[in-house]
C-alpha cells in the first residue's frame, strides 16, 4: 500500500449530473483510497458510466465536489484529472486502428512525457516503475508482445480492450477507472481479465475502480463494491455484505445472481 494510504486519492461529495430534466447521478458520494480495488455495479441506466464521466472530467457535474489528491477539480477538463493521476477506459475501446499496437502505447508514453523533467538522465521517470517505462515492457505486462507490430484494427476485441488498458497505464496513473472491460468477452477471457486487473493493482500499487456487468466475477475479485440504482448510491461495502443487502437484492442482485450457478453464488457470499 502507499505511504499516504490514509489520505483519499479521490473524494467525490454529493456529485449530481443532470441532463435537462433527467437526473442521471443523484448526490452520490464516494471516497477512494490508495491501493483499493473497488467495483461499481447496478442495472442498466443506474448512472454508472455517467458517474465515471463525472469523476474523470469527461462530464461536468451539475453540482458537488471532486477532490483529487487534495485538489478541487470539479468542472475541470479531463486533462487536469489525467495530470493528477487518473486514467480510464471506455465501454467501446478507443484505440488508433491505423497505428501499430506498439505505437498506440507509445502515444500514451508521449502524453505522460509532457511533464517537466527533474533529472538529466531519467526526468520524471525516476519514480516510475520499470515496467511502465517503455512500450515493449507495457505490452509484456498486458500480454500483447506478440501483437506489437500489428495494426490495432487487426487484433481481436479482447486484445483491443487490453490495448486500451495498456494505453491508460502508459500515462503512469495512480488511479485506473475501467468501464466494462469484460464486455463481449468469453467466460474464460472475463476471468483472465479479472486476474490481470488484480495483478496490476498489486504490482503497480494502483487504485482501481471497475464497472462491470459480469457481476459474480467482479464480486469475487474486488474488496469493496458500490451499488448504484436510479442514479443513487444504495450500498457501499465488502462484497459479502452487499450481496446480502435486501435493497440491493430487490433492486438488482436478485435477478443477476439468479442467472449464475449455485457455486458462483457461494464463492461470493462465503
Domains in the chain, ordered, with CATH? 1-85+173-270 (3.40.50.300), 95-172 (no CATH)
**By the 8 A CB rule, do 203 and 132 touch?**
no
Query: What pLDDT does 130 receive?
Result: 82
Alpha carbon distance 190, 260 (integer Å): 14
pLDDT above 80: residue 87: yes
Rg of the chain over all Cα atoms, to the nearest angstrom: 18
Q: What is the mean pLDDT of the chain?
A: 87
| Model pLDDT for residues 178-206, shown as the tens digit of each residue | 999 988 888 899 999 999 999 999 999 99
pLDDT above 90: residue 257: no
| Model pLDDT for residues 71-83, shown as the tens digit of each residue | 999 989 898 999 8
- What single DSSP character describes residue 177? E
- Cell 495483478 locates to 199
Residue 35 pLDDT class (50, 70, 90 cuts): very high
Q: Which of 46-50, 115-119, 127-131 has the lowest mean pLDDT?
A: 115-119
Query: What pLDDT does 261 receive?
Result: 40
- pTM of the complete model: 0.86
Residues near 1 by Cβ (< 8 Å), separated by ≥ 6? 34, 35, 205
- What single DSSP character describes residue 42? -
- Cell 491505423 locates to 98
Residues near 49 by Cβ (< 8 Å), separated by ≥ 6? 91, 179, 180, 211
pLDDT above 90: residue 256: no
DSSP E strands in 124-256: the ranges are 175-179, 207-211, 224-229, 232-237
Q: Which helix (H) or strand (E) holds 173?
A: none
Residue 3 CA from chain centroid, whole number: 22
Amino acid at each position: 500500500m502507499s505511504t499516504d494510504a490514509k489520505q483519499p486519492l479521490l473524494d467525490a461529495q454529493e456529485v449530481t449530473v443532470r441532463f435537462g430534466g433527467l437526473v442521471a447521478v443523484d448526490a452520490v458520494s464516494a471516497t477512494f483510497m490508495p491501493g483499493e480495488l473497488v467495483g461499481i455495479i447496478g442495472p442498466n441506466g443506474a448512472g454508472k458510466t455517467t458517474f465515471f464521466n463525472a469523476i474523470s472530467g469527461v462530464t461536468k457535474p451539475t453540482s458537488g465536489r471532486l477532490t483529487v489528491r487534495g485538489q478541487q477539480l470539479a468542472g475541470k477538463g479531463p486533462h487536469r484529472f489525467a495530470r493528477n493521476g487518473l486514467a480510464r477506459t471506455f465501454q467501446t475501446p478507443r484505440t488508433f486502428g491505423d497505428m501499430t499496437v506498439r505505437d498506440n502505447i507509445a502515444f500514451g508514453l508521449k502524453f505522460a512525457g509532457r511533464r517537466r523533467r527533474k533529472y538529466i538522465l531519467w526526468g520524471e521517470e525516476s519514480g516510475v516503475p520499470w515496467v511502465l517505462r517503455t512500450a515493449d515492457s507495457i505490452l509484456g505486462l498486458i500480454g500483447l508482445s506478440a501483437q506489437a507490430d500489428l495494426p490495432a484494427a487487426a487484433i481481436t476485441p479482447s486484445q483491443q480492450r487490453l490495448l486500451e488498458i495498456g494505453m491508460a497505464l502508459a500515462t503512469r496513473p495512480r488511479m485506473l477507472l475501467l468501464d466494462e472491460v469484460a464486455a463481449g468477452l468469453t467466460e474464460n477471457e472475463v476471468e483472465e481479465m479479472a486476474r490481470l486487473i488484480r495483478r496490476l493493482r498489486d504490482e503497480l500499487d494502483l487504485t482501481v475502480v471497475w464497472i462491470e456487468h459480469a457481476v459474480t466475477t467482479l464480486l469475487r475479485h474486488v474488496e469493496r463494491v458500490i451499488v448504484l440504482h436510479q442514479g443513487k448510491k444504495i450500498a457501499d461495502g465488502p462484497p459479502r455484505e452487499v450481496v446480502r443487502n435486501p435493497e440491493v437484492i430487490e433492486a438488482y442482485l436478485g435477478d443477476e445472481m439468479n442467472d449464475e450457478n449455485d457455486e458462483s453464488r457461494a464463492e461470493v457470499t462465503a
